[in-house]
Amino acid sequence: MSSKTLKIAALAGDGIGPEVMRAAIQVLRAIEKKHALAFALTEAPVGWAGIDASGQALPDATLALCRASDAILFGSVGLPDRDPTLPKEQRPERAALLRLRKEFALFANLRPVQLPKALSHACPLRPERQGDGIDLLVVRELTGGMYFGQPKRTEEVVEPGAPGTEPRRFQRAIDTMVYTTPEIERIAHVAFRSAGLRRKKLTSIDKANVLENGILWRETVTRVGKSYPDVALDHMFVDNAAMQLLLRPTQFDVVLCENMFGDILSDEAAALAGSLGMLPSASLGATQDGVTFGLYEPAGGTAPDIAGKDLANPIAQILSAALMLRHSFGLEDAARSIEAAVGKAIADGLRTGDIFNPGEPAAKKVGTRVMADAITAAV
Ligand code: NAD
């Protein structure tokens, strides 16, 4: 892989996007040198920056660049206060991000949640529930289940009333949960492979006691698991998982969920890390010739309240670049170099405002640039 030039589209977007993207690119350049890699990294506008540049949230040229790339490193898009008259379909969140997810059939969403011991204060749980630090990965199916199943509509219902009374009229909303075995199999493979790179434990979430989907999910994941004998698989009902994430989050390594359960549980898990500024994410599509197409972005948004002030935490964006190296390019060592460099900056006491606690004696409050420089130097 290292002999090949890896083509990366870097779309910084709006708000804090450009500041944190600058930090991630700086770190990638250091990684390129350290691991003798070749990145062809091209920047392009998206979001309001795209609208300002060429009238579209996802300009044609930006989309063409993404199509010609192996992976997209994405910042964030959307500025709630800009032009409230612009219709929803043309606003950046839909016209850029959802369009990219659809265009590249990104079916797997990965959200690692890590709470280093040193940031224990940022976690809403008591320290004794945090063990030696929380470190889990939520793998969420992104294109199926209740959010996309058909039929999906709201309809008028008229029921005959009792004799001599008016008919009863009301509305009925219908959503449909549908999964096929191929859909479950492909996301299960992603989860098992991810677990193989970590502590080799996979907890599959379902509601097999109530839902047909849950039974098929459990059977299919169990069958796929036979090809991964080194990964220990267990199953948990979603309601119990919601509770266990708060009671004993350290029991989890990789957590595999269908779309809606993953939507909810990944946000619950994210809250454990204390700040959006620490959380990267990956959305993966198809694999071709050893490269998995993916879009990598921080879990948070454009943070307009702190944009342009050197206050943003660049770690979520930098760790998103690490996920790109791991999941798109299979560069595990390079990914770990980035994660170790982030760990060193945290261990050295550097804190952006979102993770700063004045009660920590050795902590030093820094801005985006100083944090980025420290992580780059640590690489
Ligand atoms: P947000 O995630 O931008 O901000 C929520 C809070 O978290 C703010 O207080 C912000 O300062 C803080 N925060 C977020 N990232 C941070 C970082 N790296 N460092 C320090 N603090 C950080 O959510 P919001 O305010 O609800 O949304 C703002 C805009 O972003 C909206 O237009 C929304 O639609 C958009 N958005 C985009 C994406 C995306 O592009 N993937 C995701 C979420 C929200």
Q: Sorting pLDDT into bands at 50, 70 and 90, what band is 132?
A: confident
CA distance 221 to 253: 16
Q: Sorting pLDDT into bands at 50, 70 and 90, what band is 274?
A: confident
Strand partners, 296: 73, 282
Q: Which domains does the chain have, with CATH numbers?
A: 1-108+275-354+365-379 (3.40.718.10), 124-139+179-272 (3.40.50.2300), 145-176 (no CATH)
Q: Which has more pLDDT, 289 or 172? A: 172
Beta strands in 84-215, from DSSP E residues, in sequence order: 108-115, 134-141, 153-159, 168-174, 201-206
Dist. CA 265 → ligand 1 center (Å): 19
Give yes or no for a cis peptide into 151 (omega within 30° of 0): yes
Q: What's the pLDDT score for residue 2?
A: 46
Find out whether 332 and 197 touch, Cβ atoms under 8 Å. Answer: yes
CA distance 379 to 377: 5
Q: What's the pLDDT score for residue 3?
A: 60
| Kind and range of the H or E run holding 42 | strand 38-43
Please determine, for residue 1, whether its predicted confidence score (pLDDT) is greater than 60. Answer: no
Residue nearest to atom 5 of ligand 1 (CA): 303
Dist. CA 289 → ligand 1 center (Å): 35
Q: What is the pLDDT of residues 147-163, one digit of tens each?
A: 999 999 999 999 998 99
Find out whether 93 and 108 touch, Cβ atoms under 8 Å. Answer: no
Catalytic residues: 147, 207, 239, 263, 267
Residue 364 carries which side chain, given as an amino acid letter?
Answer: K
